[in-house]
Amino acid sequence: MISRLIVSNYNTKTMTFTFSIPSTAPLTILHFLPGTDPPYKLLQTHPSFALLSKCKNMEDLKKVHSQFIKFGLHNSQFALSKLVEFCAVNPKDDLSYALSIFNTTENPNHVMFNMIIRGYSLSEYPNLAIEFYEKLLFSGNLPNSYTFPFVFKSCAKIMDTQMGKMIHGHVFKLGLMNDVYVHASLINMYAQNGELDDARLVFDKSSKRDAVSFTALINGHALKGRVDDARKLFDEMPVRDVVSWNAMISGYTQMGWFEEALMLFEEMRNVNVTPSVSTLLSVLSACARAGELKLGSRVRSWIENHGLGPNIRLVNALIDMYAKCGNLDSARDLFEGLEEKDLVSWNVMIGGYTHTGNYREALAVFHRMQQANMAPNDVTLLTILPACAHLGALDLGKWIHAYINKHYQHLQNTSLWTTLINMYAKCGAITAAKQVFQGMKTKTLASYNVMISGLAMHGDAYEALELFRKMTEEGMKPDDITFVSVLTACSHAGLVDLGQEYFNTMIQSYNYTPKLQHYGCMIDLLGRAGKFDEAMAMIESMDMKPDGAIWGSLLGACRIHKNLELGEYAAKNLFELERENPGAYVLLSNIYAGAGEWDKVALIRTFLNDKGMKKVPGCTSIEIDRVVHEFLVSDRTHPQSNDIYKMLDEVDRLLEMAGHVPDTSEVHYEMDEEWKEGKLSEHSEKLAIAFGLISTKPGTTLRIVKNLRVCGNCHEATKLISKIFNREIIARDRNRFHHFKDGVCSCTDYW
C-alpha cells in the first residue's frame, strides 16, 4: 500500500522540503525492490520530480538525488533514468555522475542506455557512444527508434562509415527503416562521411521522403562541396521548412558563395518563412565574410524588431559581422553591452581586432579575458597568436605555448601547432620554432610551409632548402605557397642560380603555372643581384600584367644599385597602378637624391605636400614583461622618455668612440649635416633598443619589430651596439630578420 505524499513546505533557496502524510493514511513503505517501479502515475506526481525540473546545476541535482534515496525512489528505474538524463543531456552536463548512477543500477533498462548514448554523442567522446551501444546489445535490451539517431550521429562524428553500415543492418532487421528520425539520421551519417551514393540510395528507397530526409541529403552535398546538387534537391522539395532553408543557406556560406546565400535569405523572407536563430547565424556569417555591412545591419534591425534579443549567440554573430566589416565601434559597443560574456564573445572580439590589424587592441582584450578568469580554448589561441606574431610579443607567445602544453598536449590540432611555429618564427625565436616543428607527431603541408617561410625570413636559406628537400623525399607534394617560401629564401641569400632552378622545377616537375607572387620573388631576386636585363626579360615574358609589388621591388633594387633610368621607368608603371602610394614617390626621391638631382627631389616633395600624401612613419615595437611598447622617430611620448634619451646619448657616445660615422646620404633633405645626424640617432629602432637596454638585465636578447625596411645607417649602428653592449639584437623589418651579434649581422649586409 503506497500512500499519497503532500508537500507541506519547500524552500527554493536551499532546495529542502518536508512531507506530511494524511492522518487517515496507513503507515507506508516507500522502498521498492531493485528493478521494479511503482505505478507510473504515482511517480509522475511525486514532489521530488517537480524539484528535478527546477534543477539548474549538478549541485542542485545531487540534493534531489539525496531526496530520491530518502524516499526510496533510488530503486525506481524511471527515477534513475531521469537523473541520468539530466546529467547526460543538460548543457552543463556531468557524464561521470551519470555513469556512476548507471553503473550502480541493477539491470539498467534501454531508456538509461539511450540517455548515456545520447550524452556521449553530444560530447567530445562520441566513440564511447558506440561502445555503449554494444553494451546495450549484450545486456539483452533492444535498441529502438530513440537509440539510432544518436548512434548514427556518433558514427558521423568519428567518420566510421563501416560501423555505420553494420548498425544500418540492425535498423533493417528491427524494421525501423521507415521511422522518420532513424531514416534521416542514417542519411545524415552517410552524407557527412562523404558517402553520398549510399545516402542517396537510402533516400530513394524510402517511402517517406519528408523535409528531414531532404535536409539531411542537402547538408551532405553541401559539406562535400556539391552545392549545385544540393540546390537541385532543395528545389525538388515539395514542402520546405525552415530547417531546409537553413541547410541551403548554410551550405552556400560554407562554400564561400555569400551572394547566393544572401539572395536565398531574401527569397526565404519573400515567401514568408520566418527565419530561425540558425538562419540568422548563417546569414550574419555570410555578411561578415562578404563584407555586407548594410545587410548585416538590416538583419540586426530584424532581430531587434522581432524580439529575438538579447540572444547571446546572435549578439556574438553581430559582433563578428561588425568587426569583420570594419565597423569596430559597433562591435565594441555590443561587446561591452553584454552583461555576461561567454567564451565566444571574447573570441569574436579578439578575432575582430586581429582580422582588422588592430593587434594591440586584440592583446588588450585577451588580457581582460584573463583577468575575468575566462579560460581560453583553441579558437582563442589560434586568434591571439597572430597578434603576438605581428607585434613580436614573444613573452605572451611563450605563455600560450605553456598553456597549450598543459591543456592541449594530446589535441591533434595541427593548425594550433602550425600557428605556434609561425608565432615563434615571426617573433625572432627561430630555434623555438624548429623545436615545435620537430616535436609535431603529424606534419602537414601547412606546417612545412610555415617552417620553410620562417627559415627564409631569418636568412637561413640553405636550411630552408634542405627542409624542402626532406619534405619532397617524404612524398609530400609542395603547393604554390611552398614555392613562394623557397624562392624567398633564395632571394634573401642572393642565390640566383638556385632560385632559377627551383622556379623551373615548379613549372616543369610540378606543372604549376607561376602566379604573380612567384614572378615577384624572381624579379626581386634578380633585381637585388643587379641583373636588371634578366629581370626586365622576365617581366616582359609574363602572361599577366605586373602588379604594384613587382614594380615596387624593381624600384627598390634600382635604389640599391643607383639605376636612375630603370628606376624612373619602374616608378612610372608603379604610379599608374598605385597613384596614391607615397612610398613609391619616396623611393624615387631617394634615387634622385642619390644621383644628386635635388631639383627633382624638391618637385616630388612639393607634389606630396600638395596632395597631402605622407610617408608611412617608421614605427618600432619591443616587448618588455609581456607589454608591447611602440616608438616613432623622435618619439618623446613614452613615460620613461627622459631615461631613454639619456641612454640614447650614451649609445651615440660609445658609437662615436668605436669609430661609427653616421651615413647622412640616406637622409634626403636639404639640411645641415649636424641636423641630419640628429634625425638618424632618433630613428624608432634606436629608441626601442635604448629602452630595451635600460629595461632588461645585461646579456638579455633584445627583439624589435619595425614596420619599414631598416635603413643602412641603423643597420651599421646596431651591429656595433650588439658588440659594445654584448647583446644579441634580433630585428624584424618589413622584409626579413636581422640577427645582430658580436658586431656582425646574419644577413651579411645583403638585404
DSSP string spanning 30-61? ----TT----HHHHHH-HHHHHHHT--SHHHH
Q: pLDDT value at position 726?
A: 95
Instruction: Output DSSP code: residue 514.
Output: P
CATH of domain 513-615: 1.25.40.10
Q: Which amino acid is at 92?
A: K
Q: Which amino acid is at 458?
A: H
Q: Where is mean pLDDT largest: 342-346, 617-621, 731-735? A: 342-346
Q: Which amino acid is at 167?
A: I
Instruction: Using DSSP, state whether 728 is helix, strand or coil.
Output: coil
Q: Given a cut of 50, is residue 598 above it in pLDDT?
A: yes
Per DSSP bridges, beta strands 16-20 and 627-632 are: unpaired
Strands (E) located in 288-424: none
Instruction: Output DSSP code: residue 90.
Output: S
Q: Which amino acid is at 238?
A: P
Q: In terms of Cα–Cα distance, which of 357, 347, 292 is closest to 325?
A: 292
Q: Given a cut of 70, is residue 21 above it in pLDDT?
A: no
Q: pLDDT value at position 174?
A: 87
Q: pLDDT value at position 405?
A: 87
Specify the higher pLDDT residue, 287 or 62: 287
| Domain spans, the chain | 513-615, 619-666+673-745
Strands (E) located in 689-733: 702-706, 729-732
Instruction: Using DSSP, state whether 65 is helix, strand or coil.
Output: helix
Instruction: Output DSSP code: residue 310.
Output: S
| Alpha carbon distance 647, 687 (integer Å) | 9
Measured in residues, the chain has a length of 751
Q: In terms of Cα–Cα distance, which of 358, 352, 357 is closest to 332?
A: 352
Q: In terms of Cα–Cα distance, which of 353, 294, 295, 362 is closest to 320?
A: 353
Q: Which amino acid is at 185?
A: S
Q: pLDDT value at position 39?
A: 52
Q: Given a cut of 50, is residue 429 above it in pLDDT?
A: yes
Cα Rg, the chain, nearest whole Å: 34
| Alpha carbon distance 503, 700 (integer Å) | 41
- pLDDT category at 290 given cuts 50, 70, 90 is confident
Mean pLDDT to the nearest integer, 158-175: 88
Q: 582-594 and 598-611 are packed helices; what angle lies between their axes, rounded to 10 degrees?
A: 160
Q: Given a cut of 80, is residue 56 above it in pLDDT?
A: no
Q: Given a cut of 50, is residue 17 above it in pLDDT?
A: no
745 forms beta bridges with 740
Q: Given a cut of 90, is residue 668 above it in pLDDT?
A: no
- pLDDT category at 49 given cuts 50, 70, 90 is low
Other C-beta atoms lying within 10 Å of the C-beta of residue 3: 15
Q: In terms of Cα–Cα distance, which of 249, 243, 212, 209 is closest to 230?
A: 249
| Alpha carbon distance 734, 553 (integer Å) | 12
pLDDT digits (tens, 9 = 90+) for 407-425: 876 666 788 999 999 999 9
7 forms beta bridges with 19
| Alpha carbon distance 328, 129 (integer Å) | 43
Q: In terms of Cα–Cα distance, which of 98, 108, 181 is closest to 146?
A: 181
* CB burial readout 641-679, b (16+ within 10 A) else e: eeebbebbeebbeebeeeebebbbebbbeeeeeeebbeb
Mean pLDDT to the nearest integer, 143-169: 89
| Alpha carbon distance 152, 164 (integer Å) | 6
Q: Mean pLDDT score of the chain, rounded to an integer?
A: 83
Among 29-33, 63-67, 553-557, where is mean pLDDT lowest? 29-33
CA angle 52/58/62 to nearest 5° reads 65
* CB burial readout 96-107, b (16+ within 10 A) else e: ebbbebbeebee
Q: pLDDT value at position 24?
A: 38
- pLDDT category at 7 given cuts 50, 70, 90 is very low
| Alpha carbon distance 417, 448 (integer Å) | 11
| Alpha carbon distance 512, 119 (integer Å) | 48
Cell numbers describing residue 283: 546569414
Instruction: Using DSSP, state whether 7 is helix, strand or coil.
Output: strand
Q: pLDDT value at position 50?
A: 56
Instruction: Using DSSP, state whether 621 is helix, strand or coil.
Output: strand
